[in-house]
Amino acid sequence: MNLRNDIRNVAIIAHVDHGKTTLVDQLLRQSGTFRDNETVAERAMDNNDLERERGITILAKNTAIKYEDTRVNIMDTPGHADFGGEVERIMKMVDGVLLVVDAYEGTMPQTRFVLKKALEQNLTPIVVVNKIDRDFARPEEVVDEVLELFIELGANDDQLEFPVVYASAINGTSSYDSDPAEQKETMKPLLDTIINHIPAPVDNSDEPLQFQVSLLDYNDYVGRIGIGRIFRGTMHVGQTVALIKLDGTVKQFRVTKMFGFFGLKRDEIKEAKAGDLVALAGMEDIFVGETVTPFDHQEALPLLRIDEPTLQMTFVTNNSPFAGREGKHVTSRKIEERLLAELQTDVSLRVDPTASPDAWVVSGRGELHLSILIETMRREGYELQVSKPEVIIREIDGVKCEPVEDVQIDTPEEFMGSVIESISQRKGEMKNMINDGNGQVRLQFIVPARGLIGYTTDFLSMTRGYGIINHTFDSYQPIQKGRVGGRSRGVLVSMETGKSTTYGTMQVEDRGTIFIEPGTDIYEGMIVGENNREGDIAVNIVKAKQMTNIRSANKDQTNVIKKPRHLSLEESLEFLNEDEYCEVTPQSIRLRKKILNKNEREKAAKRSKTAE
């Protein structure tokens, strides 16, 4: 069996913030992939503004480095479970994985999720213990934890014999020794380990072609681009090939453009063969999981599984009194075009029309998946309104089932009681509890997904920001009866339109928490704060103080208003109730009632009670 020793295909996996993107930066720099005078941004792989701001990888990306005589293709995988579908497909493209683990935090749930997929594909692992220079780093214990995790996930004997490299990606140092003092300013130990341990792809380039699309990209010049691996044979520009669709039908097309990856760039190439990762243009409706073969030898590869959406929201054109003030794209046509364009590259997203031409049901993998789409649209100049996120109910064997999540919580011991109580109120069930003896507790629960909507904000305030929560999709289970989660308090709703005043704000401050600054434009039906109790209160926050010529007894006392609580987009989406919208524009995020007029709202509430 011939091997292509000039190439290695490897995926890099890690929990959010364990340093994989920084590690890739160092490999790119130290392998000589960049010219000496080339300026490279920090976290070069996270090239999307949102990824940089949040410090997470959203889109799977590939890069390639040249080390000695070998080309190493590196696939960067998302660490968040909302993007799990991409992870599984990437694992099909590579022969080995680099598992990056923080020397202090150890293994985390999302690492586990991705690693399970890698081990199932029989990939060869290398473990990189990163941040070895951290205070309280415990490299040996972390390696033991990784070994335990491998055993638990059913790794085979070869996979259990994984090599370990200790590194500090931020300093560009690594070594084979767990002692931080042994770190050398080089990534050579890691690069050598990749070459020596990751299997080279089989060279069967003289056999009939097989290429499978694992990821999609889109560009205005060449249209849809299918990214994948050539599993067999050779492909060249100008070749006429067969595309075997998901439903088994076959389409003929010509390879018009082919790109290879080098550094952070895509270079046009004329030919590629078995083992190469390439991007293919020239086919408008190419889709993930489809196979490209010669016309006279049609043999499809097994289909790739695509994660089903578990959460949906209604996107509506902005019809608030302030519609069209701040955005460039406000019409239903523009919003629909943008949502359909997103479907070109995001295979886990669904967009369904509704009875209204101004509303669409958008389904995704989770709150993060959908909120990133909303935030991206907002930055592109779109105005829209979105409803409360709801879980997607499925019927399995005649039983209505809802998605259930596996939740792992790390929290200081003192907050353990309130965390357990809050999760049980959301119909959560505890599976495991580990106390590490240093005042930290790790709790594991199974919780209905709808119980987690809006939980993160409560959780962070409950643990004073010290708690860490991670969750991954577990399964669909029969629906639990009764209300799960949701907001327990009402809201303060403006009954007037105008500018909020300091005087008006002070009049309603003691009723709850205010969300807006004085001087903000307000319309009737807009939510200006959260009530301290259940039920909504209509308030007049635009009220101005009556001017009189009588001097007040406390005139010289300066009145100070409390600082308002500003909600981020995620917090706003979590805060919503069924009868509310979140209005999103390039400059503002506003919460409002679906029915703006107070009397009409009350009539509608009475009607729905009567209907019940």
Q: Which residues are annotated as a binding site?
A: 17-22, 130-133
SS3 (DSSP) at 400: strand
Neighbouring C-beta atoms of residue 72, cutoff 10 Å = 20
Give Cα 560 distance to the centre of its chain.
40
Which helix (H) or strand (E) segment holds residue 578: the answer is: none
CA distance 315 to 349: 13
**Could you write out the DSSP letters of every residue in 294-333?**
-TTS--PPPPPP-PPP-EEEEEEE--STTTTSS-SB-SHH
What are the strands, taking DSSP E only, across 178-276? 210-219, 223-232, 234-236, 240-244, 250-254, 257-262, 265-268, 271-273
Q: What is the crossing angle of helices 109-120 and 84-91, to 10°?
A: 30
Degrees, nearest 5: CA angle 140-146-149: 145
Name which of 490, 483, 530, 494 is nearest 510 in CA terms: 530
Give Cα 334 distance to the centre of its chain.
25
**Which residues define the annotated binding site for GTP?**
17-22, 130-133
Give, as one character, the DSSP assignment of residue 535. Answer: S
The first and second tokens of residue 589, run together, are 């995020």
- With beta carbons less than 8 A apart as the criterion, state whether 382 and 315 touch: no
CA distance 578 to 586: 24
Give Cα 151 distance to the centre of its chain.
28
Q: Are strands 240-244 and 384-386 parallel, antiparallel or unpaired?
A: unpaired
- With beta carbons less than 8 A apart as the criterion, state whether 594 and 579 touch: yes
Name which of 137, 199, 189, 131 is nearest 165 in CA terms: 189
- With beta carbons less than 8 A apart as the criterion, state whether 231 and 214 touch: no
CA distance 467 to 430: 17
CA distance 386 to 360: 10
Name which of 360, 257, 319, 361 is nearest 594 in CA terms: 319
In terms of DSSP H, where are the helices of 56-108? 84-91
Classify 600 in phi/psi space as left (phi over 0), alpha (psi -120 to 50) or beta. alpha
- With beta carbons less than 8 A apart as the criterion, state whether 592 and 581 touch: yes
CA distance 31 to 39: 15
Within 13 Å of residue 588, how many CA atoms lie on the same side as its CB? 21
